[in-house]
């Protein structure tokens, strides 16, 4: 791969690549990135590679160090522990120095070659380019959860969220300060999408994972979905208010009925089962509402104390 002369190139693309136990896919990723850089150089775009080791326990870090020796311009950092792809990506985004940047998965399910078309869209004037998935080669359970999650996102958070979802997003540097100073939850593409920035849309078919086991577990997916709902939507609070108002009206109506029955001396002997059922129901509703409020309070607390979501243990140089 030829080295780009930064002083000559008009633009630079920063690629942030979070890595967690991707030793099986990294050699193919390096090869495809070399071809990609040659294609982008023909467009007048240099490439800055930023690798973030997210607490890998396999040979991933060693492979990235070897690649860095071949290409010394690579930025390589190692986090002190596994924090998840989203937090690792945000740690890498803080090192971006290019004119445009993107977070790229290391498992090759999102083809890097799409960046050529995405950069062409950016050079034509679009500051936010996304690639929407039209199909995906994932396990059936992952597909079902993704469809449910996308449905909830469209209904409760972003009504215009594209069907199929997206992870690949090219973002102009003008949004960099907004991202780094924004909330620490939610992916970078979703944060830009939440601002209402009109994207240019490309489509693609998500590829099958190239070896290894995905670290994107069900618990991480569920936590991410909760972050999106409680971090970007007020609908759960509105639903709580509407439900509370409905229960209050029903309780008031029931109270009037009891009062009328008492005045007409038409009250049977009160039953314990009815009383226990009503109390358990109302207590359960109250606990549910307190839990929802707690989800919001926890995220507010995290933003107030500004606790870092990731810590860099070491930065490597060639």
Could you tell me which residue, 57 or 230, shows the higher pLDDT? 57
Place 296 in a pLDDT band, splitting at 50, 70 and 90.
confident
The CATH number that applies at residue 123 is 3.90.550.10
Return d(Cα 281, Cα 291) in angstroms, integer.
15
- 110 neighbors 209 (Cβ within 8 angstroms): no
Could you tell me which residue, 88 or 287, shows the higher pLDDT? 88
Same domain, 110 and 199: yes
| Burial of 190 per CB tally in 10 Å (0-12, 13-18, 19+) | buried
Examine the fold and report which residue of 232, 255, 290 is the final residue of a domain before the chain moves on: 232
Looking at the chain, the whole-number percentage of residues with pLDDT higher than 70 is: 85
Place 9 in a pLDDT band, splitting at 50, 70 and 90.
very low
Structural domain of 240: 235-305
Q: Does the residue 2 lie in any domain?
A: no
Examine the fold and report which residue of 201, 232, 263 is the final residue of a domain before the chain moves on: 232
Between 109-113, 148-152, 166-170, 224-228, the lowest mean confidence (pLDDT) is in 224-228
**Whether the predicted pLDDT of 3 surpasses 70:** no
Same domain, 148 and 40: yes
Q: Does the residue 311 lie in any domain?
A: no
DSSP state of 211: S
Q: Kindly tell me the number of DSSP H helices and DSSP E strands found in the chain.
A: 10, 8
Same domain, 212 and 243: no
Place 119 in a pLDDT band, splitting at 50, 70 and 90.
very high
Q: Does the residue 312 lie in any domain?
A: no
According to the model, what pLDDT value does residue 6 have?
42
Could you tell me which residue, 248 or 51, shows the higher pLDDT? 51
Q: What is the pLDDT of residues 232-280, one digit of tens each?
A: 888 888 887 787 777 777 777 776 776 677 677 666 656 555 666 677 6
Pick from 171, 119, 165, 172: which is nearest to 142 by CA?
A: 165
According to the model, what pLDDT value does residue 8 have?
46
Q: In degrees rounded to 5, what are phi and psi of residue 47?
A: -120, 130
Place 13 in a pLDDT band, splitting at 50, 70 and 90.
very high
Structural domains in the chain (count) = 2
According to the model, what pLDDT value does residue 293 have?
85
Average pLDDT of every residue of the chain: 83
DSSP state of 173: G
Q: Does the residue 123 lie in any domain?
A: yes
Q: What is the pLDDT of residues 188-197, one digit of tens each?
A: 888 899 888 8
Same domain, 186 and 74: yes
List beta partners, residue 102: 15, 170
Q: What is the pLDDT of residues 252-263, one digit of tens each?
A: 777 677 667 767
Place 36 in a pLDDT band, splitting at 50, 70 and 90.
very high
Q: What is the pLDDT of residues 135-190, one digit of tens each?
A: 877 777 777 888 888 888 888 888 888 888 888 999 999 999 888 887 666 788 88
Examine the fold and report which residue of 232, 249, 264 is the final residue of a domain before the chain moves on: 232
Same domain, 156 and 240: no
């Amino acid at each position: 791969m030829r080295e780009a002369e930064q002083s000559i190139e008009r633009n630079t693309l920063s690629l942030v690549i979070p890595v967690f136990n991707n030793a099986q896919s990294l050699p193919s990723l390096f090869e495809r990135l070399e071809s990609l850089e040659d294609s982008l150089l023909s467009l007048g775009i240099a490439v800055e590679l930023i690798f973030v080791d997210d607490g890998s326990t396999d040979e991933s870090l060693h492979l990235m160090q070897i690649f860095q020796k071949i290409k010394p311009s690579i930025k390589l950092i190692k986090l002190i522990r596994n924090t998840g792809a989203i937090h690792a990506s945000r740690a890498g985004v803080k090192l971006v120095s290019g004119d445009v940047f993107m977070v790229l998965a290391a498992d090759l399910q999102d083809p890097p070659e799409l960046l050529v078309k995405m950069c062409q869209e950016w050079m034509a004037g679009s500051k936010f380019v996304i690639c929407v998935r039209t199909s995906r080669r994932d396990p059936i359970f992952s597909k079902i959860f993704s469809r449910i999650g996308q449905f909830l996102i469209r209904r409760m958070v972003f009504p215009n969220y594209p069907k199929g979802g997206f992870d690949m997003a090219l973002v102009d540097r003008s949004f960099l300060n907004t991202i780094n100073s924004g909330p620490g939850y939610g992916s970078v593409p979703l944060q830009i999408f939440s601002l209402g920035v009109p994207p240019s849309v490309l489509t693609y078919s998500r590829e099958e994972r190239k070896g290894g086991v995905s670290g994107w577990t069900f618990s991480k997916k569920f936590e991410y979905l909760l972050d999106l709902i409680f971090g970007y939507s007020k609908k759960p609070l509105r639903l709580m208010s509407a439900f509370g108002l409905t229960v209050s009206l029903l309780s008031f109506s029931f109270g009037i009925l009891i009062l009328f029955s008492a005045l007409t001396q038409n009250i049977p002997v009160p039953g314990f089962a009815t009383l226990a059922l009503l109390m358990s129901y109302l207590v359960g509703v109250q606990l549910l509402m307190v839990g929802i409020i707690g989800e919001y309070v926890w995220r507010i607390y995290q933003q107030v104390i500004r606790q870092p979501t990731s810590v860099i243990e070491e930065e490597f140089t060639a």
